[in-house]
Amino acid sequence: MLFLLPDAFRFFEQSASTLPSLLVWVMAILGFFVFYALERGRHAQETARIAGLGAAIGIAVHSFIDGVIIGEGFRAGGDTGLVLAAAVMLHRLADGASAVGVMLGTEHGIRQTAFMLLLTALAPIAGALVPSFYSLPAFLFSLLLSFFSGMLLFLGAKHLLPEARRAPASFAAGVAVVYAAYLLSH
């Protein structure tokens, strides 16, 4: 999250876009509020079967977009691609578990649940192939990066910070590992 927004600004400034760079901030804020709205809606309707299927499909679409972001990250530069790929790989397991939990929690069968898990697993691979056939303009890539940084900011504020208060030593160790990975990548 902390590295995506500066990269988004850099790619936006390098693009030939005549749009104001304020749009990068707007997209980050939009990403924050879209994820907030999705999470609020999920909690309001978590007992409905259709809402469960919709949430699982949403996770698969999110996975596909993650793949597109990875592919475009490698197109933009090896370092950016590696950082994005690592970030996506780290949360892939959670997305798969979320898809399974949502499907089973909304009384879908094992066959439907397994299909959604497979779809969620294959979606980032399909998404990563998209840049091979279509080149995303730099300004659009920068806006996607900023949108996802807003989503990650929401996740950090909503889920990670409350957990950090419960286990400050683990949080500090996690920050140290992330910082060490950052130093090693440069």
Domain membership flag for residue 177: no
Domain membership flag for residue 10: yes
Give how many domains the chain has, as a whole number.
1
Overall pTM > 0.75: no
What is the domain extent for residue 59? 4-157
Q: pLDDT tier at 35 (50, 70, 90 boundaries)? A: confident
Average pLDDT over the chain, rounded to whole?
80
Mean pLDDT of 121-140: 84
User: Which residue is associated with the tokens 């949108």?
Assistant: 147
Mean pLDDT of 145-165: 77
Please check the confidence at residue 170 and state whether its pLDDT lies above 90: no
Candidates 8, 122, 24, 129; CA nearest to 68 is 129
Domain membership flag for residue 67: yes
Q: pLDDT tier at 22 (50, 70, 90 boundaries)? A: very high
Domain membership flag for residue 73: yes
Domain membership flag for residue 132: yes
Q: Kindly give the interhelix angle for 138-155 and 49-76, rounded to the nearest 10 degrees.
A: 130
Domain membership flag for residue 168: no
91 contact partners, CB below 8 Å, separation of at least 6: none
The pair of structure tokens assigned to 68 is 């597109």
Domain membership flag for residue 72: yes
Contact (CB, 8 A) for 138 and 11 = yes
Candidates 164, 162, 154, 156; CA nearest to 40 is 154
Please check the confidence at residue 70 and state whether its pLDDT lies above 60: yes
What single DSSP character describes residue 135? Answer: P
What single DSSP character describes residue 156? Answer: I
The pair of structure tokens assigned to 164 is 């950090």
Domain membership flag for residue 167: no
